[in-house]
Amino acid sequence: MRARLCLVLAVFSAAAATAAPIDVAPAGTFHHLDASGRQSLALAGGQVALVWEDSRGGAPRCYLGLKAGAETAFREYPLGRGECFDPAVAALDGERFLLAWEDETGINAALAGPAGPGGSINLGAGAHASVAAHPTLGAHIAWNAPAGRWQRVWRASLRVLGTQPRAATPQAADAAPPSDDQGFPALAAGEHGVRLLWEDRRHGHTVIYASASADGQIWSAPMRVSGNPTGRAPGNLGRGTGAMRPAVASFGGGFAAAWLDKRDFLSGYDVYAALSEGAGFAKDGKAQDSFADAIAQWHVAVAGNRRGELVIAWDDGRDGTSDIWLTRLTAAGYSENFTLPETSGPAHQSDPAIALDEAGNLHLAWIERAPGSDSSGPTRLRYTVWPLPKP
Amino acid sequence: MNLRPLLAAMFLFSAVSVLADPPPGYPFVAHDAGMRRARQEAKPILLYFGRYGCAWCDHVNRKTFSDPGLKQLFSDNYVLIYVDAEGGKRLRLPTGERLTEGELGARLGAFATPLFVFMTAEGKVVAKIPGFKTVDDFRDYDRYVRGGHYQKQTLLEFLGSKP
């Protein structure tokens, strides 16, 4: 199988080599790229922003790394107070970024320019924040926070004043009273509006829901995105199979959502995706190829650009150790899965975060463990760029 | 006769009984408290990865964990930890690393639920067993773990050598 995949890669990557990977942060600590929606990497103008968490001081802290495209190292800025988790980043405009994270004070948001982050605002208790921005549709943040017995997804628009955002009054993603937990929101903004996806347990198992806004102000009622079946079904599925950790990106004139889905419950989670159709999403389907079917997939991320290119990334161990696997949307559907030399091989490569620039370069960050180390072994945080070849 | 309290109790019972949560009556605790208790009491750990809505978790709870002898055996001799394999709560590993329940599932390859992970008191994984298992299966796993056979044999070797 490896030979076949190498052939696929060779066809795909003709005249396209990855840049030498950069070690982003000191090695040996517990690096995490765990932003809700896997929004750990963003591009604004010529700037690259990467946010992560590591434990170099003995406790988890959040960091922002910034670099201009040609620079070979990231400038590093700490974020948050006390223990800090799940930082997220999105492009705000031509040179600035929108940031969010969770720390001992709750959910926080800030802006960052080429010189680093500005002052932050606090949105109260919560976890798993996601951010998105568009020049005419505004900036937005979503997170989950307790609401009585349940976790509920909240969203707020952000007004940018100088170097600091200002949040409007938070609104529940679903105006109806919650009947079970919601969580792990993922936001994306594009020329056709803003989309918010989240995990939702209202049916007694975890499914993916979404809400859409055409103008950044009025949001649709929740709609189900994942087609994993609810209710008893052949195979004794109980209340239903699981779908989790949605990611969403704008590309061309629409949006693409991807998530982990266990409807084929014998082989772990699979990568499923759905493309937007009007204000909703079309029927979903597998984005992985059949060589991935017998093994579990994890950590799905999605990235697109305005010229309509779309890439989905995840990790799985089909070749013996965990590698980063990719697929591209083509006119014939999702391509056969492929790896890159720097993100595959005997080491344990996982947790991809991806972004696509307007020139068609795939920016990719990931976590790496040395060959043979166990799951608690020391990690490296790595980054590279790969020019997408013509499909 | 006011039936509302009775109906409410029936509703609560039915809601609880269909959840793929830990089996009722067992002293399952959250991850971090369980890891601390295991070290303090020098007891092995049974970590139960369930999933919200998981039919086979419900099945093993009803068919296997309902056995009084098994309940006694595991309640007395193990620290019992329940983790939601899709959950977002944060845990602290023995290394000090913090991560979500779902991420712990990814680390331990929780591709199917239920997944039963046996650990030493220090948190070292000695066996990972997916899917529905019987009372006799769990008695075999107990002999493997508390008998220390994991130090010399894999679980499959141990089960294969069983008289």
DSSP codes of every residue in A298-309: EEEEEEE-TTS-
User: Does B102 reach chain A within 8 Å, measured CB to CB?
Assistant: yes
Number of Cβ pairs < 8 A linking chain A and chain B: 80
Are the beta carbons of A376 and B93 separated by less than 8 Å? yes
Cα(first)–Cα(last) distance of chain B, in Å?
60
User: Does B53 reach chain A within 8 Å, measured CB to CB?
Assistant: yes
Candidate from A83, A127, A267 with C-beta closest to B111: A267
Candidate from B88, B96, B111 with C-beta closest to A268: B111
User: Does B161 reach chain A within 8 Å, measured CB to CB?
Assistant: no
Candidate from A85, A204, A269 with C-beta closest to B53: A204
User: Does A151 reach chain B within 8 Å, measured CB to CB?
Assistant: yes
Instruction: Enumerate residue ranges in chain B where pLDDT < 50.
Output: 1-19
Strands across the sheet containing A22-23: A22-23, A379-387, A361-369, A348-356
- Residues from chain B that touch A55, judged by Cβ atoms under 8 A, are 96-98
Are the beta carbons of A144 and B88 separated by less than 8 Å? yes
User: Does A376 reach chain B within 8 Å, measured CB to CB?
Assistant: yes
Residue A42 is assigned to a structural domain of this protein: yes
pLDDT at A10 over 90: no
Residues in CB range of A120: below 8 A, 6 or more apart: A79, A80, A99, A108, A109, A110, A164
What span, in angstroms and rounded, lies between the C-alpha atoms of A73 and A308? 29
> Which has the minimum average pLDDT: A234-238, A319-323, B2-6, B67-71?
B2-6
User: Does B133 reach chain A within 8 Å, measured CB to CB?
Assistant: no
The tokens for A58 are 């003995």
- pLDDT given at position A377: 79
Residue A381 is assigned to a structural domain of this protein: no
Pairing of strands A270-277, A280-281: antiparallel
Residue A371 is assigned to a structural domain of this protein: no
- Residues from chain A that touch B55, judged by Cβ atoms under 8 A, are 236-239
Please name the residue that has the structure tokens 């799940």. Answer: A86
Q: What single-letter DSSP state applies at residue A316? A: E
| Residue (of A27, A17, A18, A9) closest to A367 by Cα position | A27
User: Does B128 reach chain A within 8 Å, measured CB to CB?
Assistant: no
- Residues from chain B that touch A259, judged by Cβ atoms under 8 A, are none
User: Does B104 reach chain A within 8 Å, measured CB to CB?
Assistant: no
User: Does B95 reach chain A within 8 Å, measured CB to CB?
Assistant: yes
Q: What is the CATH number of the domain that holds A350?
A: 2.120.10.10
- pLDDT given at position A238: 76
Are the beta carbons of A32 and B59 separated by less than 8 Å? no
Candidate from B54, B95, B102 with C-beta closest to A244: B102
User: Does A299 reach chain B within 8 Å, measured CB to CB?
Assistant: yes
Residue A387 is assigned to a structural domain of this protein: no
How distant is the Cα of A197 from the closest Cα of chain B, in angstroms? 16
Instruction: State the residue range of the domain holding A149.
Output: 2-358
Instruction: Report residue A243's pLDDT band, with 50, 70 and 90 as the boundaries.
Output: very high
Are the beta carbons of B53 and A206 separated by less than 8 Å? yes
- pLDDT given at position B21: 81
Instruction: Report residue A373's pLDDT band, with 50, 70 and 90 as the boundaries.
Output: confident
**Residues of B (59-78) whose Cβ lies below 8 Å from A:** 59
**Residues of A (258-277) whose Cβ lies below 8 Å from B:** 262, 265-269
Instruction: Report residue A162's pLDDT band, with 50, 70 and 90 as the boundaries.
Output: confident
Nearest CA in chain B to A56: B97
> Which has the minimum average pLDDT: A26-30, A330-334, B24-28?
A26-30
Are the beta carbons of A204 and B18 separated by less than 8 Å? yes
| pLDDT per position as a tens digit, B76-113 | 999 999 999 999 999 999 888 999 999 999 999 888 99
Residue A389 is assigned to a structural domain of this protein: no
pLDDT at A335 over 50: yes
Nearest CA in chain A to B89: A127
Whether the Cβ atoms of residue B98 and residue A83 lie closer than 8 Å to each other: yes
Are the beta carbons of A299 and B106 separated by less than 8 Å? yes
In percent, how much of chain A has pLDDT > 70?
94
User: pTM of the predicted model, to two decimals?
Assistant: 0.93
Are the beta carbons of B90 and A85 separated by less than 8 Å? yes
Domain residue ranges in chain B: 21-160
Candidate from A32, A85, A240 with C-beta closest to B53: A240
User: Does A237 reach chain B within 8 Å, measured CB to CB?
Assistant: yes
User: Does A150 reach chain B within 8 Å, measured CB to CB?
Assistant: no
- Residues from chain A that touch B93, judged by Cβ atoms under 8 A, are 376
State the total domains in chain A.
1
What span, in angstroms and rounded, lies between the C-alpha atoms of A147 and A141? 18
Taken in order B21, B24, B29, B31, is the CA torsion positive or negative?
negative
| Residue (of A246, A262, A249) closest to A305 by Cα position | A249
- pLDDT given at position A233: 52
**If you average pLDDT over every residue of chain A, what do you get?**
92
- Residues from chain B that touch A30, judged by Cβ atoms under 8 A, are 95-97
Q: What would the mean pLDDT of A209-230 be, rounded to a whole number? A: 96
Nearest CA in chain B to A29: B97
CATH of B21-160, one of 3.40.30.10, 3.30.300.30, 3.40.50.920, 3.10.20.80: 3.40.30.10
Candidate from A184, A236, A376 with C-beta closest to B55: A236
Residue A105 is assigned to a structural domain of this protein: yes
ipTM of the complex: 0.91
| pLDDT per position as a tens digit, A195-206 | 999 999 999 999
Q: Name the residue type at position B113.
A: T
E strands in A148-203: 150-161, 164-167, 171-172, 182-190, 193-200
